[in-house]
Amino acid sequence: MLMFTLRRLSLFFFTMVLLSMLTFSLRYFFPGDMLINLSGQINANTAELKQLAIDYKIHESIFSQYWQYLTNIFHGNLGLSMASQLPISTEISTLLPATIELSIIALTIAMVMGIPLGFIAAIYHRKKIDNIILTFAIVGHSFPVFWLGLLVILIFSIQLAWFPSAGDISLLFEIPQQTGFLFIDILLSNSPYKWQAFNSALAHIFLPASVVALAPATVFIRLARTSMMEVLETSYIQAAKTKGLSFIQIIYHHAIRNALIKMIRHIGLQFANLITFVMITEVIFSWPGIGRWLIVSIGQRDYTAIQNGLLVLSIFIFVVHIFTDFIYAALNPLAREHNHGS
Amino acid sequence: MNLLDIRNLSIELKTKTGVILAIDRVSLTMKEGEVRGLVGESGSGKSILAQAIMGVLDDRWQVHADRFHWRNIDLLSLTHQQQKDIISQDVAMIFQEPMACLDPSTTVGEQLEEAVPDHQLTGFFWQKNKQRKLAVINLLHKVGIKNHTKCYRSYPHQLTEAFCQRVMIAIALAKKPLLLIADEPTAAMETTNQGQIFRLLASLNQLKNMSILLISHDLENVTHWTNNITVMYSGQFVEAGTTEQIFNTPYHPYTQALLESSPKANIELPPKSRLTTLPGSIPVLQHLPIGCRLGPRCPRAQKICVQAPKTTNYHGHQVNCHYPLKEIY
Ligand code: SF4
């Protein structure tokens, strides 16, 4: 297990280095003045520009520029947003938690809905239930997420008025920001209306999270279905049958775990997709997250924001990947000790 | 008393293009304490037959029989679930590729534990876990595994194939079976390990009076360990009798060909000459010959062989052939 951890950490390290090189190189592709793009100080005068050139080591070799870039990142010195003139780091620290919250909740919904449905479909393979679930999966998969978002707003927010359509909490509640994660902040706050605030936050997240979750859930259905079908064909399931175990015992003790092992890494891969859905959904539901901020920044040609937003989102996706790898290893004894491959 | 008495068991496979008769009227009897070999090439349907006895074939397969008795209980008059319950109480099975037959993500110990049936444990529920562990350790000792703690905690991929087969046998022994069906238990194993597994099975047969149905493609190897042998070809019954009858005086052209194809029977052959074999190969399920399925390859085949032969019994030596090789002995 130690070896496994070390290998994952080294993978993490080198991927981060590569990623930083990539975002570093972005500065050469953006139009306009590089210094202004980097610092976000659009109204800088000549003296300030000179100081910036020294700060970013712009006239030195590319290596010291890169090194300066890394140092800046580690010091949280990401420049100002060209649009709002606020420091990028504070913007990100308020926006990223909202995105994390939305994506984690959406992922949970997708897994809780998709995986059991897929298993059920596999167990009733070629029966009616299988067909119904599969049809649902294919129909659900073909819904464009922006259209679905507008549709649920029309139905559930405007027609039925069950759920709010924008934002992450009702404006009535004032929650002091501590961690940035709204739900945790609500629980930490000592407002007398804590639970009302909590309910309001739940109601706000329900629609966007469900919209994001639909497409991944349908992918999970199909993944879970195929991996369960594969597992049910294996010799150890056949052997377990001759042991005299009942079908339910076989499913619980042997099939589910092995089927999960087969699909857990695909869940990690699916996460990058999910983030794109989150970005679109954030725009539709005016969710104060980093995805919306990034899309708005692209519209406003806010190069400082684009550069750093991309970096942060990629790091987030990659951390989730590493995390699923650890879950995979915890479930699968084979992965823990293999020294080669994987 | 006959443990198992099967008369004219047929198994049909339902496919998109029609129904295929995979097993055509095979009979099989097992007595208590008997070791019987079930011999046939791969594709002769011997594993399917074993799975049909265990009742684990899925619903694509249809099983019919004239008689299917287990310890004088008529299984045909019971529902499928009842059949399965009765059989799985007393019959255990081990397979080829034992490692693939153990759940790769669960420790060997856990898999052994769940094989111990509840009714063997006396005492209260808080004592049961301990009893279960003890039972598992006992089982491991029975199959000759001394280092039980290490084995208990291992995952299947950490053990060798032969070791896994011992674990499989231990799992099979957990329910104290009357009959053990061993489906090519030593395929793809080294010879020394093969011998160990066979010796283990033989000692279990003698000490526990457990009957064993030993399924194999290797007639010569099987003769060392069995009392009786049943030979199958392409889903049809060929010949059955005591090991001596089959080995010394085979009545059926197929059995004879099998014996003659082994290197031992060809000991006088000059070096580098070909072993005697039947021409052709076993037919695929989609293109089975009518009548005696050996027909196209049989050296003694005649016109009448397009009708399926009837089984004749010569003092317990049963042959399924129109022209048995009876006269030549
Ligand atoms: S019945 Fe005919 S074809 Fe079949 S084995 Fe006997 S002689 Fe050969």
Q: For residue B322, what is the DSSP state?
A: S
pLDDT tens over chain A, length 342 residues: 788 888 888 988 999 999 989 888 888 888 877 777 788 777 778 887 888 888 888 788 888 888 888 888 888 888 888 778 888 888 888 888 889 999 999 999 999 999 999 999 999 888 899 999 999 999 988 988 889 989 999 999 888 888 888 888 877 777 777 787 888 888 888 878 888 888 888 888 889 999 999 999 999 999 999 999 999 888 888 888 888 788 888 898 889 989 998 888 888 888 888 999 999 999 998 888 898 999 988 888 888 888 888 888 888 888 888 888 888 888 888 777 654 443
Q: Is B278 a pocket residue for ligand 1 (Cβ < 6 Å)? A: no
Mean pLDDT confidence for B141-164: 86
Residues of A in contact with B97 (CB under 8 A): 235
**Which of B88, B89, B104 lies nearest to residue A334, judging by beta carbons?**
B104
**Which of B88, B106, B157 lies nearest to residue A244, judging by beta carbons?**
B88
Residues of A in contact with B173 (CB under 8 A): none
**Which of B88, B95, B105 lies nearest to residue A239, judging by beta carbons?**
B95
Question: In chain A, what are the domain boundaries?
Answer: 2-74, 90-299
Q: Do B115 and A243 touch (CB under 8 A)?
A: yes
Decide: B77 and B7 in contact? Cβ < 8 Å: no
Q: Which of B24, B254, B293, B305 to mutate to test the pocket of ligand 1 (most atoms within 8 A of CB)?
A: B305
Decide: A97 and A179 in contact? Cβ < 8 Å: yes
Q: Do B97 and A334 touch (CB under 8 A)?
A: no
Distance, in angstroms, between B311 CA and closest chain A CA? 31
**Residue A246 vs residue B272, higher pLDDT:** A246
CB pairs under 8 A between A and B: 58
Distance, in angstroms, between A255 CA and closest chain B CA? 9
Nearest residue on chain B to A235, judged by CA atoms? B101
| Parallel/antiparallel/unpaired status of strands B228-233 and B211-216 | unpaired
Name the residue with the closest Cα to ligand 1, atom 1.
B321
Residues of A in contact with B89 (CB under 8 A): 244
pLDDT for B265: 64
Q: Is B23 a pocket residue for ligand 1 (Cβ < 6 Å)? A: no
Burial of A219 (0-12, 13-18, 19+ CB in 10 A): buried
Nearest residue on chain A to B117, judged by CA atoms? A244
Distance, in angstroms, between B293 CA and closest chain A CA? 30
Q: Do A241 and B56 touch (CB under 8 A)?
A: yes
Q: At what angle do helices A194-233 and A88-123 cross, to 10 degrees?
A: 40
**What's B229's domain CATH number?**
3.40.50.300
Q: How confident is the model at residue B74 (pLDDT cuts 50, 70, 90)?
A: confident
**Interface membership of B168 toward A (CB under 8 Å):** yes
**Interface membership of B171 toward A (CB under 8 Å):** yes
The domain total for chain B is: 1
pLDDT for B56: 81
**Interface membership of B175 toward A (CB under 8 Å):** yes
Structure tokens at B55: 């009742």
Mutation test of the interface with chain B: which of A227, A238, A243, choosing the one with the most B Cβ atoms within 10 A?
A: A243
What is the C-alpha R_g of chain B?
Answer: 21
Decide: B193 and B161 in contact? Cβ < 8 Å: yes
Strand boundaries in chain B, DSSP class E: 2-15, 18-31, 35-39, 61-64, 67-70, 73-74, 91-94, 179-183, 211-216, 228-233, 236-242, 311-314, 317-320
Cα angle B101-B102-B108, degrees, rounded to a multiple of 5 = 155
Nearest residue on chain B to A257, judged by CA atoms? B105
Q: Is B323 a pocket residue for ligand 1 (Cβ < 6 Å)? A: yes
Give me the residues paired with residue B5 across strands: B29, B69
**Which of B97, B101, B105 lies nearest to residue A333, judging by beta carbons?**
B105
**Which of B56, B89, B92 lies nearest to residue A238, judging by beta carbons?**
B56
Decide: B230 and B216 in contact? Cβ < 8 Å: no
Query: Chain A residues contacting B, CB < 8 Å?
Result: 234-236, 238-245, 249, 253-254, 257-258, 261, 331-334
pLDDT for A268: 84
Percent of the residues in chain B that have a pLDDT greater than 90, as a whole number: 5
Whose tokens are 């610092």? That residue is A39
Name the residue with the closest Cα to ligand 1, atom 4.
B292
Integer Cα distance of B258 and B205 in angstroms: 27
Distance, in angstroms, between B84 CA and closest chain A CA? 8
H or E stretch covering A11:
helix A2-26
Which amino acid does the sequence have at B263? P
Domain carrying residue B183: 2-105+155-320
Q: Is B309 a pocket residue for ligand 1 (Cβ < 6 Å)? A: yes
Judged by DSSP in three states, B164 sits in helix
Residues B194-233 pLDDT 10s: 888 888 889 888 888 889 999 988 888 888 888 999 998 8
Integer Cα distance of A223 and A115 in angstroms: 8
Work out the end-to-end distance of chain A between its first and last CA atoms, rounded to an integer number of angstroms: 14
Residues B84-142 pLDDT 10s: 888 888 888 888 888 888 988 888 988 888 888 877 777 777 788 888 888 888 888 88
Judged by DSSP in three states, B319 sits in strand
Distance of CA A304 to the CA centre of its chain: 22
**Which atom of ligand 1 lies nearest, measured to the CA of B309?**
1
Name the residue with the closest Cα to ligand 1, atom 3.
B295
Domain A90-299 classification at class level: mainly alpha
Structure tokens at B219: 């007639």
User: Count of alpha carbons within 13 Å of B86, Cβ hemisphere only?
Assistant: 18
Cα angle B75-B91-B104, degrees, rounded to a multiple of 5 = 130
CA B300–ligand 1 middle distance (angstroms):
6
Structure tokens at B29: 């009897």
**Interface membership of B56 toward A (CB under 8 Å):** yes
Mutation test of the interface with chain B: which of A127, A232, A236, A246, choosing the one with the most B Cβ atoms within 10 A?
A: A236
Region of B45 please: left (phi>0), alpha (psi -120 to 50) or beta: left
Cα dist from B273 to A38, B254, B258, whole Å: 84, 21, 17
Nearest residue on chain A to B101, judged by CA atoms? A236
**Interface membership of B154 toward A (CB under 8 Å):** no
Integer Cα distance of B313 and B34 in angstroms: 20
**Interface membership of B157 toward A (CB under 8 Å):** yes
Residue B122 lies in a domain: no
String of DSSP letters for B52-76: HHHT---TTEEEE-SEEEETTEEGG
